[in-house]
Amino acid sequence: MSEALIDIRGVRHAYRTASGPLPVLDGLDVSVPEGGFVAVVGPSGCGKSTLTRLIAGLMKPDEGEVWLHGSRVTSPRSTVGMAFQNPVLLEWRSILKNVLLPLEIVPTKLSKADGEARARHLLKLVGLEGFEDKRPSELSGGMRQRASLCRALIHQPEVLILDEPFGALDAFTREDLWQIMHALKAEEPFTGVLITHDLRESIFLADRVVVLSGRPARTQYVLDVNFKGPRDIDHLYTPEAAEMLNTLRHQIEIAQGRTEAGHAA
Protein backbone atom coordinates (compact mmCIF):
# COMPACT_ATOMS: atom_id res chain seq x y z
CA MET A 1 0.00 0.00 0.00
CA SER A 2 1.31 3.45 -0.89
CA GLU A 3 1.93 6.15 1.68
CA ALA A 4 -1.19 7.56 3.30
CA LEU A 5 -2.47 10.76 1.73
CA ILE A 6 -4.84 11.43 4.59
CA ASP A 7 -3.64 10.37 8.01
CA ILE A 8 -5.70 10.95 11.12
CA ARG A 9 -3.92 9.97 14.30
CA GLY A 10 -5.39 9.73 17.76
CA VAL A 11 -7.80 12.62 17.28
CA ARG A 12 -9.88 13.71 20.25
CA HIS A 13 -12.37 16.52 20.17
CA ALA A 14 -15.09 17.90 22.41
CA TYR A 15 -17.63 20.62 21.68
CA ARG A 16 -18.14 23.21 24.36
CA THR A 17 -21.83 23.36 25.16
CA ALA A 18 -23.86 25.15 27.81
CA SER A 19 -23.97 21.96 29.87
CA GLY A 20 -20.23 21.30 29.77
CA PRO A 21 -17.94 19.73 27.18
CA LEU A 22 -19.50 17.17 24.84
CA PRO A 23 -16.83 14.75 23.62
CA VAL A 24 -17.50 13.63 20.04
CA LEU A 25 -14.24 12.05 18.92
CA ASP A 26 -12.11 10.00 21.25
CA GLY A 27 -9.11 8.30 19.74
CA LEU A 28 -9.90 8.32 16.06
CA ASP A 29 -7.47 6.78 13.58
CA VAL A 30 -8.19 6.79 9.88
CA SER A 31 -5.71 6.56 7.07
CA VAL A 32 -6.45 6.80 3.38
CA PRO A 33 -3.85 5.91 0.74
CA GLU A 34 -3.41 8.15 -2.29
CA GLY A 35 -6.14 7.41 -4.81
CA GLY A 36 -8.06 5.43 -2.21
CA PHE A 37 -11.70 5.81 -1.32
CA VAL A 38 -12.69 5.37 2.29
CA ALA A 39 -16.25 5.30 3.58
CA VAL A 40 -16.95 6.20 7.19
CA VAL A 41 -20.08 4.75 8.75
CA GLY A 42 -21.38 4.87 12.28
CA PRO A 43 -24.42 5.57 14.41
CA SER A 44 -26.03 8.94 13.89
CA GLY A 45 -24.59 11.80 15.92
CA CYS A 46 -21.28 10.01 16.40
CA GLY A 47 -19.10 12.77 15.01
CA LYS A 48 -18.83 11.79 11.36
CA SER A 49 -19.36 15.33 10.13
CA THR A 50 -16.83 16.62 12.65
CA LEU A 51 -14.36 14.34 10.94
CA THR A 52 -14.96 15.99 7.55
CA ARG A 53 -14.50 19.43 9.05
CA LEU A 54 -11.21 18.32 10.58
CA ILE A 55 -9.87 17.01 7.27
CA ALA A 56 -10.99 20.18 5.50
CA GLY A 57 -9.16 22.24 8.11
CA LEU A 58 -12.36 24.04 9.07
CA MET A 59 -11.64 23.23 12.71
CA LYS A 60 -8.76 21.99 14.79
CA PRO A 61 -8.94 18.91 17.03
CA ASP A 62 -8.35 19.31 20.76
CA GLU A 63 -5.80 16.51 20.59
CA GLY A 64 -4.19 14.39 17.91
CA GLU A 65 -3.10 15.21 14.40
CA VAL A 66 -4.55 15.40 10.93
CA TRP A 67 -2.04 15.04 8.12
CA LEU A 68 -2.68 15.66 4.47
CA HIS A 69 -0.08 14.80 1.87
CA GLY A 70 2.76 14.90 4.37
CA SER A 71 1.89 18.20 6.04
CA ARG A 72 -0.17 18.89 9.09
CA VAL A 73 -3.60 20.41 8.56
CA THR A 74 -4.09 23.57 10.60
CA SER A 75 -6.23 25.70 8.29
CA PRO A 76 -8.34 25.25 5.14
CA ARG A 77 -6.44 24.46 1.99
CA SER A 78 -7.46 24.70 -1.60
CA THR A 79 -6.59 21.09 -2.42
CA VAL A 80 -9.83 19.90 -0.88
CA GLY A 81 -13.24 19.65 -2.52
CA MET A 82 -16.42 19.23 -0.52
CA ALA A 83 -20.00 18.15 -1.17
CA PHE A 84 -22.75 17.94 1.43
CA GLN A 85 -26.21 16.41 1.71
CA ASN A 86 -27.55 19.87 0.93
CA PRO A 87 -26.13 20.74 -2.52
CA VAL A 88 -25.83 24.43 -1.49
CA LEU A 89 -25.86 25.76 -5.02
CA LEU A 90 -26.05 29.53 -5.36
CA GLU A 91 -29.57 30.20 -6.65
CA TRP A 92 -28.57 33.39 -8.45
CA ARG A 93 -25.97 31.72 -10.62
CA SER A 94 -26.35 29.41 -13.59
CA ILE A 95 -25.24 25.81 -13.16
CA LEU A 96 -22.05 26.51 -15.10
CA LYS A 97 -21.22 29.55 -12.95
CA ASN A 98 -21.91 27.50 -9.83
CA VAL A 99 -19.45 24.86 -10.92
CA LEU A 100 -16.87 27.57 -11.67
CA LEU A 101 -17.15 29.15 -8.20
CA PRO A 102 -14.05 27.47 -6.65
CA LEU A 103 -11.89 28.71 -9.52
CA GLU A 104 -12.75 32.27 -8.48
CA ILE A 105 -11.22 31.58 -5.08
CA VAL A 106 -8.33 29.16 -5.32
CA PRO A 107 -5.19 30.07 -7.22
CA THR A 108 -5.42 28.13 -10.47
CA LYS A 109 -3.29 27.52 -13.48
CA LEU A 110 -6.39 27.12 -15.62
CA SER A 111 -7.23 30.03 -17.89
CA LYS A 112 -10.80 31.26 -17.90
CA ALA A 113 -11.56 29.41 -21.13
CA ASP A 114 -9.88 26.21 -19.91
CA GLY A 115 -11.77 26.37 -16.63
CA GLU A 116 -15.03 26.72 -18.48
CA ALA A 117 -14.15 23.86 -20.81
CA ARG A 118 -13.34 21.71 -17.80
CA ALA A 119 -16.62 22.63 -16.13
CA ARG A 120 -18.55 21.70 -19.26
CA HIS A 121 -16.65 18.42 -19.47
CA LEU A 122 -17.45 17.53 -15.85
CA LEU A 123 -21.11 18.46 -16.34
CA LYS A 124 -21.19 16.19 -19.37
CA LEU A 125 -19.65 13.34 -17.36
CA VAL A 126 -22.43 13.54 -14.77
CA GLY A 127 -25.12 13.81 -17.43
CA LEU A 128 -25.90 17.51 -17.14
CA GLU A 129 -25.01 18.47 -20.68
CA GLY A 130 -27.49 21.08 -21.89
CA PHE A 131 -28.25 22.34 -18.37
CA GLU A 132 -25.23 24.68 -18.12
CA ASP A 133 -27.29 27.86 -18.36
CA LYS A 134 -30.19 26.73 -16.17
CA ARG A 135 -30.69 27.99 -12.65
CA PRO A 136 -30.47 25.51 -9.75
CA SER A 137 -34.19 26.00 -9.03
CA GLU A 138 -34.96 24.54 -12.45
CA LEU A 139 -33.20 21.25 -11.63
CA SER A 140 -34.30 18.21 -9.66
CA GLY A 141 -32.61 17.25 -6.38
CA GLY A 142 -30.48 14.57 -8.01
CA MET A 143 -29.35 16.95 -10.77
CA ARG A 144 -28.43 19.61 -8.22
CA GLN A 145 -26.34 17.08 -6.34
CA ARG A 146 -24.56 16.17 -9.57
CA ALA A 147 -23.75 19.82 -10.18
CA SER A 148 -22.48 20.08 -6.62
CA LEU A 149 -20.12 17.13 -7.30
CA CYS A 150 -18.77 18.94 -10.37
CA ARG A 151 -18.19 22.04 -8.27
CA ALA A 152 -16.30 19.96 -5.68
CA LEU A 153 -14.00 18.63 -8.43
CA ILE A 154 -13.51 21.65 -10.71
CA HIS A 155 -10.27 22.81 -9.08
CA GLN A 156 -8.73 19.33 -9.31
CA PRO A 157 -8.59 18.72 -5.55
CA GLU A 158 -6.38 16.01 -4.12
CA VAL A 159 -9.06 15.12 -1.64
CA LEU A 160 -12.80 14.89 -2.20
CA ILE A 161 -14.85 14.97 0.98
CA LEU A 162 -18.43 13.79 0.66
CA ASP A 163 -20.66 14.29 3.69
CA GLU A 164 -23.77 12.14 3.08
CA PRO A 165 -24.17 13.65 -0.38
CA PHE A 166 -26.81 11.15 -1.50
CA GLY A 167 -28.69 10.97 1.78
CA ALA A 168 -31.66 13.04 0.70
CA LEU A 169 -32.19 11.37 -2.67
CA ASP A 170 -34.60 8.60 -3.59
CA ALA A 171 -33.21 5.09 -4.00
CA PHE A 172 -33.04 5.03 -7.81
CA THR A 173 -31.45 8.47 -8.11
CA ARG A 174 -28.97 7.41 -5.47
CA GLU A 175 -27.92 4.34 -7.43
CA ASP A 176 -27.55 6.53 -10.53
CA LEU A 177 -25.23 8.81 -8.63
CA TRP A 178 -23.19 5.90 -7.27
CA GLN A 179 -22.43 4.91 -10.84
CA ILE A 180 -21.63 8.49 -11.73
CA MET A 181 -19.18 8.54 -8.83
CA HIS A 182 -17.38 5.57 -10.37
CA ALA A 183 -17.31 7.30 -13.75
CA LEU A 184 -15.83 10.42 -12.11
CA LYS A 185 -13.30 8.35 -10.18
CA ALA A 186 -12.14 6.74 -13.41
CA GLU A 187 -11.33 10.17 -14.89
CA GLU A 188 -10.32 12.25 -11.89
CA PRO A 189 -7.43 11.15 -9.70
CA PHE A 190 -8.86 12.15 -6.33
CA THR A 191 -8.63 10.51 -2.94
CA GLY A 192 -12.08 10.17 -1.44
CA VAL A 193 -13.62 10.26 1.99
CA LEU A 194 -17.32 9.45 2.10
CA ILE A 195 -19.47 9.90 5.17
CA THR A 196 -22.61 7.82 4.87
CA HIS A 197 -25.22 5.90 6.81
CA ASP A 198 -26.03 3.64 3.88
CA LEU A 199 -24.02 0.41 4.16
CA ARG A 200 -24.73 -0.64 0.56
CA GLU A 201 -23.43 2.72 -0.58
CA SER A 202 -20.28 2.30 1.49
CA ILE A 203 -19.30 -1.05 -0.02
CA PHE A 204 -20.33 -0.04 -3.51
CA LEU A 205 -18.23 3.12 -3.59
CA ALA A 206 -15.33 2.61 -1.20
CA ASP A 207 -12.41 0.25 -1.10
CA ARG A 208 -12.28 0.50 2.67
CA VAL A 209 -15.06 1.01 5.19
CA VAL A 210 -14.31 2.42 8.64
CA VAL A 211 -16.92 1.86 11.33
CA LEU A 212 -16.99 4.41 14.13
CA SER A 213 -18.21 3.59 17.61
CA GLY A 214 -21.02 5.58 19.22
CA ARG A 215 -20.26 9.00 20.69
CA PRO A 216 -17.53 9.72 21.60
CA ALA A 217 -16.33 8.02 18.46
CA ARG A 218 -13.20 6.03 17.90
CA THR A 219 -12.27 3.67 15.11
CA GLN A 220 -14.09 0.45 15.91
CA TYR A 221 -13.71 -1.68 12.83
CA VAL A 222 -12.11 -1.52 9.38
CA LEU A 223 -13.38 -3.54 6.44
CA ASP A 224 -11.50 -3.86 3.16
CA VAL A 225 -13.81 -4.17 0.19
CA ASN A 226 -12.55 -6.53 -2.46
CA PHE A 227 -14.84 -6.83 -5.42
CA LYS A 228 -13.30 -8.25 -8.55
CA GLY A 229 -13.35 -6.11 -11.68
CA PRO A 230 -15.29 -2.91 -12.30
CA ARG A 231 -18.25 -2.49 -9.98
CA ASP A 232 -21.84 -2.42 -10.98
CA ILE A 233 -25.05 -2.54 -9.00
CA ASP A 234 -25.33 -6.31 -9.56
CA HIS A 235 -22.36 -6.77 -7.24
CA LEU A 236 -24.54 -5.68 -4.37
CA TYR A 237 -26.64 -8.81 -4.79
CA THR A 238 -23.78 -11.34 -4.58
CA PRO A 239 -23.04 -13.56 -1.58
CA GLU A 240 -19.77 -11.74 -0.85
CA ALA A 241 -21.64 -8.41 -0.68
CA ALA A 242 -24.22 -9.95 1.61
CA GLU A 243 -21.44 -11.15 3.89
CA MET A 244 -19.79 -7.73 4.03
CA LEU A 245 -23.10 -6.00 4.70
CA ASN A 246 -23.80 -8.48 7.45
CA THR A 247 -20.44 -7.82 9.10
CA LEU A 248 -20.98 -4.05 8.89
CA ARG A 249 -24.51 -4.30 10.24
CA HIS A 250 -23.24 -6.31 13.17
CA GLN A 251 -20.53 -3.71 13.84
CA ILE A 252 -23.08 -0.88 13.73
CA GLU A 253 -25.21 -2.72 16.26
CA ILE A 254 -22.19 -2.99 18.52
CA ALA A 255 -21.52 0.72 18.00
CA GLN A 256 -25.09 1.51 18.96
CA GLY A 257 -24.59 -0.54 22.11
CA ARG A 258 -27.30 -3.04 21.22
CA THR A 259 -25.00 -6.04 21.17
CA GLU A 260 -22.44 -6.89 23.81
CA ALA A 261 -19.60 -8.23 21.74
CA GLY A 262 -16.03 -7.71 20.59
CA HIS A 263 -14.16 -4.91 22.30
CA ALA A 264 -17.07 -2.48 22.51
CA ALA A 265 -16.75 -0.18 25.48
Partner 1 sequence: MLRKIAVPVVACIVFLAFWEFLVWANGWPNYVMASPSDLPAAYTKFWNLFLVMGWQTLWRTVLGLLIAIVFGVFLGMIMGFSRTMRDALYPLLVGFNAIPKATVVPIVALMFVGAHDFNTVLIAFMISFFPIAVSVSIGLSTLEPEYRDILRSLGASQATIFWKIALPKTLPEFFGALKVAVTLAFIGTNLMEIVSPHGRGLGALFDSGKTNSDYPLMFAVLIALAFLGIVLYYVVVALEKIFAGWAERPQG
Are the beta carbons of 41 and 220 closer than 8 angstroms?
Answer: no
Q: How far is the CB of 220 from partner 1 (least distance, A)?
A: 27
Order of strands, edge to edge, in the sheet holding 63-68?
Answer: 20-33, 4-17, 63-68, 71-72
The candidate with the shortest Cα–Cα distance to 161, out of 189, 118, 191, is 191
Write down the least CB distance from residue 136 to partner 1, Å: 9
CA distance linking residue 197 with residue 215, whole number of Å = 15
Q: Judging by beta carbons within 10 Å of its beta carbon (0-12, 13-18, 19+), is residue 28 exposed, middle or buried?
A: buried
Judged by CB, which is closer to partner 1: 104, or 243?
A: 104
Binding site for partner 1 (CB under 8 A): 53, 56-58, 75-78, 80, 82, 84, 86, 88, 90-92, 101-102, 104-106, 135, 137-138, 151, 155, 161
Least distance in angstroms from the C-beta of 40 to partner 1 = 17
* Alpha-carbon distances, residue 83 vs 56, 151, 155, 165, 238 (angstroms): 11, 8, 13, 6, 30
Min dist CB 74 to partner 1, Å, is 12
76 or 141: whose CB is closer to partner 1? 76
Closer residue to partner 1 (CB): 146 or 155: 155
Closer of 2 and 71 to partner 1 (Cβ): 71
Q: Do you find a cis peptide bond into 216, omega within 30 degrees of 0?
A: yes
CA distances from 68 to 11, 76, 77 (A): 14, 11, 10
Q: Which is nearer to partner 1, 134 or 182 (CB)?
A: 134
> Min. distance of Cβ 245 from partner 1 in angstroms?
30
